[in-house]
Structure 1
Amino acid sequence: MQKLFTYLLLSSVICTAMLSLADTAVAEETSSTSATSNQLVAVDPEENTEETQQAAMAQVTSVSQLSDVQTTDWAFQALQSLVERYGCIAGYPNGTYRGNRALTRYEFAAGLNACLDRVNELIATGTADLVTKQDLATLQRLQETFAAELATLRGRVDALEGKTAELEANQFSTTTKLNGEAVIAVGGVISGDTVHGNKVNRNFVLGNRVRLNLDTSFTGKDLLRTRLQATNLDFFSNTATFTPEGDFRFAFPGGNRNNVGIDALLYQFPLGDKTTVTLEANAGAIDDFTNTVNPYIDGDGGSGALSQFGTRNPIYYLVNGAGLGIKHEFSGNLELSLGYLSNSANDPRPGSGLFSGAYGAIAQLTVKPSDKITVGLTYINAYNNSFFANGSGGSTNANDILQASESNSYGIQASFQPSSKFIIGGWAGYTNAQVLTGVRGNADIWNYALTLSFPDLGKKGNIAGIIVGMEPKVTAVSTSLRTAGVDRDPNTSYHIEGFYQYKLSDNISITPGIIWITAPDHNDRNDSIVNGALRTTFTF
């Protein structure tokens, strides 16, 4: 008897690894084929998670040529009795074996190991008296009969444990995962000759934007993201159209000549079950902690809309830099986002710093009346921040006014998904700017858009989108500003954009698209501009 107890205790080394296989083997009882290919999972008992189980899968040698254990065999009936008495194998509602077909010898061995593990548990918890001598004798006989199968499976487990140890020893980090995105794009002005009397540069360019995210978690619920970015794509407004409207989201002001630098640096952690805190140390953006309510179209340049304006409501670009964001979920249908970000938080000079320089603060209530409808109600207070702060868009006049103002912006964003293949959305944004330098006065700035998106159009994973709207326009100014030569924009420009993102594979997509800007800078004297782009995005 002592020998049997010793053997049972030693067998616990492989019992945990066999539990996953045992569940899989028994759960396949309704299959019409008993000679199937089986898989064995090597699992650390202290890290027995679904992820580690799937990652450690290894193919077991085919057993189709081996004789199956028939339902009439003594071994089958003996194991069935043990399973039902001790609840060795989970997965059936009434806890019974419910075997109605023959098992391969490896399937049977897996079930045997599950019973060994259960008996070991009873012994370890001091309830060994629940195990009868007759059952112990039956287990001993079963182990002797299936010694070869148990030994083979144990060898497979040992081999997998060795490989797992080698991978762990050579892995990048136990706490950090690397993921990345590379955008290679061809773009340029297709149509349009002059803007503000300047000849439009019609050359096409080929450029890139590469992002590498190092995502670290210390508790499994927090996130430290360090993003490295390199790009050589400049905003087209600087070199082509002489207006900020229609710029590509994947471009970068001034580019950085493909020099690698730290872009986003943030730390997110939960504060209770419903609150998430985001500390933004560099290049913080609104979408880090706020729902922009523009599904499928807001892809931050790597997917979805091609333009800055088409990506999200421009008032969101008034909040950027370093600071703090908080998101609290009252329920699955109601969420509050609060944030404060400064453009010059690391600058100690007068007029800069965390609270003395340009900043943006946001409060947004996101409501989901149903699974198909999402509405965002947004308020933003900003100081000396323009739409150029974390993007580009709107008239030159609107951005010049905001760069010397304290502004209050109000936005409403909404999306409605009547089916899985179609989403209609849009937004309206109003900004009241109070000019604080020189001649003081007020100005009103409006923008709006209607968006249509078509997920899985033509193929699962594809996305088609249409954006039609008006980029930020100065619609009214106070008398004092008009006297000083600052007036409202004379006409109305419309932004019309269409794109089709085609999924070549799980990691590669290609997106052709066109952006048509009528009367750029809200001025009919300017030629309409058509920008075209072909974006290829690689994710890994």
Structure 2
Amino acid sequence: MKKFLLSALGASVALMGSGLLLEQTALADVKLPERTTRPNAALKSSAAVSQTAKSLSPEPSLEAVTALQEADASIAEVDQVTSVSQLTDVKPTDWAFQALQSLVERYGCIVGYPDKTYRGNRALTRYEFAAGLNACMDRINELIAAGTADLVKKEDLLALQKLQEEFAAELATLRGRVGALEARTATLEKQQFSTTTKVGTELITYLADAFGDSAGPRNNAAIGYRLRLDLDTSFTGKDRLRTRLQATNLRKFDVGDVFGVSPVGRATSDLSDETRFLATSTSSNSNVTINRLQYRFPVGEKLTVFVDANTIDPSIVTDPITPFNDQATGSPSNFAQIDPVWFPIGNQAGVAVNYAISPNFQFDFGYQGEGDSPNNPQLGLFKAGYSAFAHLIFYSGTFKLGFFYINSYSPQFGVDTLAGSNAAKILGAGPVIGNGYSVQLDYRITSWFEIGGWVGLTQARALGSGTKGDADIWNFSIDLAFPDLGKKGNLGGIVFGMQPRLTGTSNAAFASAIGLPAGQREDRSTGYHIEAFYRYQLTDNISITPGVIWLTAPNHDDRNPDAVIGVIRTTFVF
């Protein structure tokens, strides 16, 4: 009996059944003694084990406790192996077959893994051997207690007694560890509070150049970057305090004095925002600034509250419903990421709420305060301008539909959305009230094809003395996405759209104040934004995205030659 117990136990680490699966507990994370490489190799003395026990972690982690609980649950769900014939990797010709058959069919211990394999050729440690021995001891005790002691032979009990004496130290350590694990689990369940801070890093680099007649002699390839460091702290496990540090040297793509600007009207130094790669691409001259300070926490099961004390916009707190909305891994251009109606600039602080009405409907809303000026953004929810938004979202499988409304008031920024023509910003006519409307749609038709897009309208009213007037600004986009193109994690994209275009003004004085030439009440022409890109996922953390952006009639003025911008974006996310 001793011989087959040693052989079978030494040939396996399948410590299922009534035993313990040590590889799914905290013991798997510690340094174990030198493994026995042969099933019948001589066992080391118990003195060596006491030294090994010192290397065991004194307290198992919460992750280890969770893993053990999950392992116990999964074991309970698997049909028990009751015959050696059920083990897929054991053959009658195996040298330990008879011993294994006795252990499984006679005593019901050391019965195999949940997938009905035995894995008899892998090595084991003395602790694993002790755990298997403990399982068999428990099983024999059950047989005795059940009145079936005649099934246990005297020689088996003698062999078991000798093994118990040989492994007394390991068994005591094992039982102590289990006791400590149970005590630690109870403590962790009572004391859930733990302040944890995680650090995330995002680096985006751009290599870009412009081509076409508008590029001019000053055109040179440009290199830019944006670096972000996110410190995410949780106090309850469900909330999040995000502190974001940022440094960047990105700017609007400079390809000459007249590129992207109507040759008449506004100063030629005012470059169009149609060339932006990121909405937050204003250069900080590589100085590190606090870009975001946000606290998010749940209230009940359906409500989540966001409190921001720095830059904020609706896309941070509600779903933009576009396939390319991620600044690091979505489309290279600013316009193709999210409907510009969402971005009246200058927001510096605010409060927002997500409310899950039902599994298919969500309603999000918020209020955001504006700084006093672009160069001196004095914080305050009610001191200067503001914007208030509401967003109703419908979900159904792979289909999403959103209805968005935003009301804004700005004494400084008009309805500048960091996209579109210069006239569409409604700057120069005094304080401006804006009402923005947007409908977004996204439908993932198959696992490899997705279609999305939006239509946006901003109705602006200027309140300046002598320049009062109304204006309409439209924009749209049609997006075709190809997820996992080439391999899992890749993304192909095609975008066709019109950046914000001023389509009408109510009077000549107002039109002149915002930069239109005499006699002109809207943008001269209609220019289109055509974009194609392909994100190639090198690793889980690194991607490279080459892309091409074609702007017809920049600044919505057909006197400006078409421009083609080539870009290669490299993204590192850790």
TM tier relative to shorter chain: 0.7 to 0.9
Deviates more, 1:110-119 or 1:395-404: 110-119
Structure 1 residue 270 displacement after superposition? 0.7
Aligned to 1:262: 290
In structure 1, the partner of 2:475 is 447
- Are 1:345 and 1:354, in contact at CA under 8 Å, matched by a contact in 2? no
2:198 equivalent to 1:177: yes
User: Secondary structure of 2:238's match?
Assistant: coil
Contact 2:130 / 2:170 at 8 angstroms: preserved in 1? no
Show CA shifts across 1:449-485 (max 9, x none).
1001111111211111111111111111113645756
Change (3 A) 1:526 1:139: farther
1:495 aligns with 2:529: yes
SS in 2 for 1:398: helix
Structure 1 CA distance, aligned partners of 2:219 and 2:68? 51
CA distance in 2, matches of 1:115, 1:342: 69
Q: Deviations over 1:204-255 (max 9, x none)?
A: 11121111111111111111111111111222269773211131117621x1
1:216 counterpart residue number: 233
* DSSP 3-state at the match of 1:236: coil
State the partner residue of 1:315. 341
Partner residue of 2:307 out of 279, 303, 309: 279
Deviation at 1:113, TM superposition (A): 5.1
Give the whole-Å Cα distance in 1 for the aligned partners of 2:322 and 2:68: 31
2:442 is aligned to 415
In structure 1, how many angstroms separate the alpha carbons of the residues matched to 2:226 and 2:308?
A: 22
Q: TM-score, normalised on structure 1?
A: 0.72
**Deviation of residue 492 (structure 1)?**
0.6
Scaled by the length of structure 2, the TM-score of the pair is: 0.68
Summarize deviations over 1:132-152 as a string: whole Å, max 9, x none: 997999999758537559839
Q: What amino acid sits opposite 1:18 in the alignment?
A: L
After superposition, give the CA deviation of every residue in 1:101-136 in whole Å (9 maximum; x if it has no partner). 97979577545556889999x9xxxxxx98999799
* Equivalent residue letter for 2:246: Q
Q: CA separation in 2, counterparts of 1:78 and 1:453? A: 60
Alpha-carbon distance in 2 for matches of 1:462, 1:153: 53
Question: Which residue number in structure 2 is paired with residue 288 of structure 1?
Answer: 316
Q: Is the 8 A contact 1:19 1:110 kept in 2?
A: no
Deviates more, 1:324-333 or 1:400-409: 400-409
Tell me the distance in 1 between the aligned counterparts of 2:23 and 2:135: 6
| Equivalent residue for 1:145, pick from 151, 163, 174 | 163
- 8 Å contact 1:410–1:431 — kept in the other structure? yes
Q: Which amino acid aligns with 1:225?
A: R
Deviation per CA, 1:496-540: give whole Å up to 9, x if none: 111111111222111111111111111111121222211111111
Aligned to 2:392: 365
Quick one: which of 502, 518, 522 aligns to 2:556?
522
Unmatched tracts of structure 2, length 5 or more: 1-18, 29-38, 40-55, 72-93, 181-193, 260-270, 515-520
Q: Partner amino acid for 1:243?
A: S
- The alpha carbon displacement at 1:191 in A equals 2.1
Determine the C-alpha separation between the residues in 2 that align with 1:274 and 1:424: 29
- For residues 377 and 280 of structure 2, the distance between their equivalents in structure 1, rounded to whole angstroms, comes to 31
Which aligned pairs between 1:74-93 and structure 2 lie closer than 5 A? 75-77=103-105, 79-80=107-108
SS of alignment partner, residue 382 of structure 2: helix
Matched, 1:343 2:378: no
Is 1:44 the counterpart of 2:70 in the alignment?
no
Identity of aligned residues (%): 36
Distance in 1 (CA, whole Å) between partners of 2:385 and 2:528 is 29
User: Alpha-carbon deviation of 1:273?
Assistant: 0.8
Which residue of the partner structure matches residue 463 of structure 1?
491
Name 1:507's counterpart in structure 2.
541
Gaps in structure 1 of 5+ consecutive residues:
1-14, 25-34, 36-40, 55-65, 84-88, 93-97, 123-128, 162-172
SS at match of 2:426: helix
What is the distance in 2 between the residues matched to 1:365 and 1:538? 33
Alpha-carbon separation, structure 2, partners of 1:265 and 1:99? 52
Cα separation, partners in 2 of 1:264 and 1:142, compared to 1, 3 Å: farther
- Tell me if structure 1 keeps the 8 A contact 2:430–2:464: no
Distance (Å, rounded) in 2 between the aligned partners of 1:184 and 1:148: 60
Distance of 1:375 and 1:339 partners within structure 2: 19
C-alpha contact (below 8 Å) 1:193/1:200 kept by paired residues = no
**Which residue matches 1:60?**
none
Distance 1:345 1:78, change over 3 A: farther
Asked whether 1:334 is paired with 2:368, we answer no
2:565 to 531, 534, 537: 531
- Relative distance call for 1:45 and 1:470 in structure 2 (3 A) is closer
| Corresponding residue for residue 12 of structure 1 | none
Q: Which secondary structure does the structure 2 equivalent of 1:49 belong to?
A: helix
Q: 1:151 is aligned with what amino acid?
A: E
Tell me which moved more, 351-360 or 430-439.
351-360
| Distance in 2 separating the partners of 1:118 and 1:488 | 87
Q: How does 1:359-438 map to 2 (within 5 A)?
A: 359-368=386-395, 370-384=396-410, 392-401=418-427, 404-438=431-465
Q: Which residue of 2 aligns with 1:4?
A: none
Residues 200 and 367 from structure 1, CA distance in 2 versus in 1: closer, same or farther, beyond 3 angstroms?
A: farther
- 8 Å Cα contact 2:524-2:557 kept in structure 1: yes
Partner of 2:332: 306
Task: Pick closer, same or farther for the CA change 1:325–1:103 going to 2, 3 Å.
Answer: same
1:515 is aligned with what amino acid? Answer: I
Query: 2:53: which partner in 1?
Result: none
Shift of 1:20: 2.8
Check conservation: 1:71, 1:77, Cα contact below 8 A: no
Across the two proteins, how many residue pairs are aligned to each other? 459
Query: Deviation string for 1:133-187 (max 9, x for gaps)?
Result: 97999999758537559839969x99xx9xxxxxxxxxxx961111111112111
Distance 1:245 1:44, change over 3 A: same
| Alpha-carbon contact 1:426-1:449 (below 8 Å) kept | yes
Once the two structures are overlaid, the 10-residue window that deviates more, 218-227 or 423-432, is: 218-227
**Alignment partner of 1:303: what SS?**
coil
Distance 1:180 1:311 in 2: 21
Q: 1:418: how far off?
A: 0.8
Q: Could you say if the C-alpha distance between residues 238 and 408 of structure 1 is closer, same or farther in structure 2, counting changes exceeding 3 Å?
A: farther
1:269 Cα deviation from its structure 2 partner = 0.8
Judging changes above 3 Å, is the alpha-carbon distance between structure 1 residues 50 and 144 closer, same or farther for their aligned structure 2 residues? Answer: same
Residue 234 (1) aligns with residue 251 (2): yes
CA separation of 1:454 and 1:152: change in aligned 2, threshold 3 A: farther
Partner of 1:247: 276
Q: Which has a greater percent of strand?
A: 1
Post-superposition Cα deviations, 1:280-323, rounded to whole Å, max 9, x if no partner, equal 1112232221000012x1112x1111111011000111274311
- Distance in 2 between residues matched to 1:445 and 1:281, nearest whole Å: 30
Which structure: larger Rg? Answer: 2
- 1:374 CA displacement: 0.4
Please say if 1:477 is aligned against 2:505. Answer: yes
The secondary structure found in structure 2 opposite 1:309 is coil
